[in-house]
Structures are given as C-alpha cells and as structure tokens.
Amino acid sequence: MSDRSTIEWTEATWNPVTGCTEVSPGCDNCYARTFAERFRGVPGHPYEQGFDLKLWPARLEQPDRWKKPRTIFVNSMSDLFHEDVPIAYISQVFDAMAAAPHHTYQVLTKRPGRMASVVRQLRPQPLPQVWLGTSIELDKYTWRAEKLRQTPAAVRFLSLEPLLGPLPSLELHGLDWVIVGGESGHGARPLEAEWVRDLRDRCAAQGVAFFFKQTGAVWARELGYRSKGTDAEEIPDEFLVRQYPERQLITA
C-alpha cells in the first residue's frame, strides 16, 4: 500500500487484500508473487505469509485518510474477485470506495465472471469514481472482455499486459480504455510490435483510449536498453501513446 506508485497509469496503490493464485499464462512471472515470497516467514512483515491470500480489514479506511485526490490501483498485490474473498468483504471494499469519492479507483481482475456477478448484486448502479477492468494476455482469453461488458461500471478497461500474442478476436465495443505492455523481469517473454500496432489502430478507429505502458525487457534489449522500456526515450515514437479515458457513466 502506497500513496505513490511507479506504475505509469496510476498514482497510488491500496491493498485491502494480498495474495492470489494463478489462473492463466499471464500469471507465470507474476511480479507480486515474486515480491511477496521474498518475505515468507519473516516475522511481523506484511508478507510473512508470502503470497497466500489474506484480508486486511484495518486497511479499509486508508482511502478516506488520503485527503488529496488521487488515482488508486486497488489490489495491485492481489485480485479482489478471487474466489476465496467473501462477497461480504468485497462489499466492504466498495463501501470504502463510496465513502471516499474524491479518489478514482482502478480495480483489475483476471476473474471477470465473478466480478460481473458480484458487482451486479452489490452495485447495480455504478459508482462514478470506480473503474473496473480485466487482464487479457492471449486470444483464448478474450472472453474476459465480454464478462467485463456485462459488469456495471463507470469506466471499463483492459490491461493487456503481459501481452503474449496477437488478439484478433478481441472486441472493443463497450470498453473505454486499453493498456498494453510487454513483460519484464526474469524469464520475460517477447512482445511484438505488430501486436501493439494492431491494437493501437483498432482503438483509434473505435474511439477507445490507448495507453502503451512499456516495451518489456526483450524488446528493450533489442532496442539497446537494459530496462523494461517504460521511459519515453525507450519507446519507439509510433507507440508513444498514453491516453486516458473520459470519465463517463456507462450503464449499457
């Protein structure tokens, strides 16, 4: 949990839940798991339990204590809609976001089916400050976007990171924002320029905001950089597009 974040598309992180389990190949090199497991068994550390799922009720009041408005990535170290997170606790998280409407909240999941079901039950009328998104890494998971479209949300967004292949089946209607990025860290898999170009052009044609986060470690090395390719000078000019969605209420 931090009131500042190095993630390019947000400003702060808030983790009322930590820990998760893998659901698809995008999880293979999970940065959150790698970080958390470094501290497994360290007495008193927030990740003493490693990446095992844990609820943190004491953190529910944190957004209200942050008086300066900011954009907050919710559960950067977990998935709010993990099957082991009780609906009653998810409701408390939404109540906390409702109680501090001066912030914008970005909630991202790889479990959009559960998200659609739970949010329709808890918040059929979307909170205007809450953006809901899902992650897609390969074309076989583009069904997640359809589940997202079924979810009441002020803004619906996709995180295509790490993008591991082209997404010819992805439909963009009903979506507001697409984030694309390559993989970094040990064992990083490559991102191809043509995959990014195709998504950028389709977003432009359909009026969807497009945000290219990073080239990833493999592409960065090919360009001569020892990094994950997040800085503007490390990104080829044609891909240096970092748009944000309009804040609008979508109910359909």
Domain boundaries, the chain: 12-239
How much is the average pLDDT of 145-171? 98
Could you read off the pLDDT of 210-238 as tens digits, one per residue?
999 999 999 999 999 999 999 999 999 99
What percentage of residues in the chain have a pLDDT greater than 90?
Answer: 94
| Residues 6 or more apart whose Cβ sits within 8 Å of residue 143 | none
pLDDT score at 5: 86
Residue 250 has pLDDT above 60, yes or no: no
Q: Report d(CA 47, CA 2) in Å as an integer.
A: 15
Q: State pTM to two decimals.
A: 0.95
**Helices 112-122 & 87-99 angle (0-180, nearest 10):** 70
Plot region of 60 (φ>0 → left; ψ -120 to 50 → alpha; else → beta): alpha
Under 8 Å between Cβ of 161 and 138: no
Residue 4 has pLDDT above 90, yes or no: no
Q: Which two tokens stand for residue 109?
A: 């999941």
State phi, psi for 231 to the nearest 5 degrees.
-75, 150
pLDDT score at 2: 62
CB atoms within 10 A of CB 66: 15
CATH of domain 12-239: 3.20.20
Q: How far is CA 132 from CA 93, 166, 234, in A?
A: 13, 23, 29
The C-alpha angle with vertex 14 and arms to 248 and 57, in degrees rounded to 5, equals: 115
Under 8 Å between Cβ of 183 and 217: yes
pLDDT score at 23: 98
Mean pLDDT of the chain: 95
Q: Report d(CA 182, CA 15) in Å as an integer.
A: 24
Q: Which residue has the tokens 């694309």?
A: 180
Under 8 Å between Cβ of 16 and 54: no
Could you read off the pLDDT of 88-127 as tens digits, one per residue?
999 999 999 999 999 999 999 999 999 999 999 999 999 9
Residue 141 has pLDDT above 90, yes or no: yes
Q: How confident is the model at residue 45 (pLDDT cuts 50, 70, 90)?
A: very high
Residue 13 has pLDDT above 70, yes or no: yes
129 or 251, higher pLDDT: 129
SS3 17: strand
Find the helix or strand (DSSP H, E) in which 241 lies.
Answer: none
Q: Report d(CA 161, CA 146) in Å as an integer.
A: 18
